[in-house]
Structure 1
């Protein structure tokens, strides 16, 4: 696995006139309210430790006042920490001199703001090209590249418009194009979609996911919306009063909340829309690797089921049931297994959202096979799994009961 692109180590931020003087109270474990009452200083961040990998969308979320916007502004040193280290590709950002920091901000990171941050007196294409012009790229090339990015975000034809002539969603697309146009490796997005109407917000989320599939940027995304975090994030960190209370992959946070605070966050999330098959599927235990009917029945008896998933060197072939094989056995027990003996079962894509596979899962007499794009059997999805995961309980998936069919006599 590649080394982390960004590492944050023991990061603290205490706002006030003399933060160093009062950091002892923070290390003693005093609360945010206690420190404010005693010193007039506000605790913004407390002992933040993060590793962010190249090419991932890392979501930092929390309610208002949790410290998430404070944290994202540390990455490009719009805010300097009271204590701690921020490394980007192994370089301690805190050690950069003013000239180095200027170049770092221009070339390494771009930022997309909640309120768009567009220059009202410049055209759309001039706004997108602005970062390149700051980098010193000549006007002709910068405008050419800006037009390409406007086309990428769906705004071809709007080049000569002004920001005030665009809708909120269009203005945010301009902001996104401007951030991408500089070709910065790291994209900072601070509540970038929060000011948009729900439908436009959903469209922007979709577009970000589509762009990320092509660009593989490292994106740090700030939001207060758990649904948005679950939809976008490869990993999520949840902040409360300046501290990280849990971080991990979306399904881990959704299924295994670490604290009552996180539990309250995830309680009302529609799990069927937030989880994919691969996050809850089980290993496919009942593989049939035999070539003949007799051998297939023998394997079924060995693992005590009246069905199995037929696989060979080419991958998954289909579901076979004992009842049909036994009928064929009477005619010719040494006959080869072929498609005529398979059950009519549509495999499930591991990336499918649970909501889309619920009907098939409930209708099936046995767990559905999960087959990847290469045709390999990667898991099985049971009714019992769905019942547990979509219910109120947070019981770990690995403890869920296997609601398979009763073994044949």
Structure 2
């Protein structure tokens, strides 16, 4: 793996820091220059190799640093005093019979490198068995060192605590850190996926509410032009083709919206920025026969969306029919009469389904279905409830 310049600088600084620790804990270079060169120079060399291979292969660095493991029994982070007053401690006659000092966690300055790369092994290694093999080899080496010095109980305690402190604990901390980072990454990916779904839903609703409404009005205009008097057969045929093309485009739009839509997590939507009067006038300009009655009082927040959906459905499914819009503080209705022309629209769109959910979230009720020879959409909003999608 080729290092970036910043990584190279970090590795050199790490090697320098570990080398300083190794030199500080080694023999005196003035009193014992030969031993200093042999011991400290060997440690610095091992540390250099470990730093060189430790970034891409931290477990290899652990193997390289095995000679710097917790093999010193006279140094430790803690010392435990055991009471042996009840009997003689064979092999430890140098200690008082009532007190035996046991070193716990023999971590020296040079073993900090072992701890660091054991931690990186747990954090970066995907599989567990290579680490188990290396740590098992370290345990075998430690057992050999203890047995070579008599196999005393205090030595076993020192060695086991050293192996746990140098290898096992840092490795487990690295595994824990890796799990935390993976969980955080999954959470970020989940949040990004939800954001994409919400944006797709917003686009889908925007396309349905705005573009679908406009296409329906184009089809109405073409239908009115098709039956207008004074047109030649070719002109009437062209108007009919335009009406069919607009209806087919509406159907393709419905299919695209179906692909973009997310039924699980509907997103907020701001429809076309126009009031009810402008919405009705635009429908009238397209050739629809629309009558409007707005009762005194506050206009429900859902009114624009309900009227828009009602006019769109009437334009698609009942071309040429009269439409009556009634808006009151406690009731919104859009009713149309029988169709005067042939409808080319297909049923099964998401308009009424999405509107029903929006009304439900606002705390209202909605009914839609055939009435006499036409169709009626009725919404009863609760007083004081607004559009949940800020329409």
Between Structure 1 and Structure 2, the one with more helix by share is 2
Q: Tell whether the structures are fold-level matches, with TM greater than 0.5.
A: no
Give the structure with higher Rg (CA).
Answer: 2
TM-score (norm 1): 0.22
Greater strand content: 1
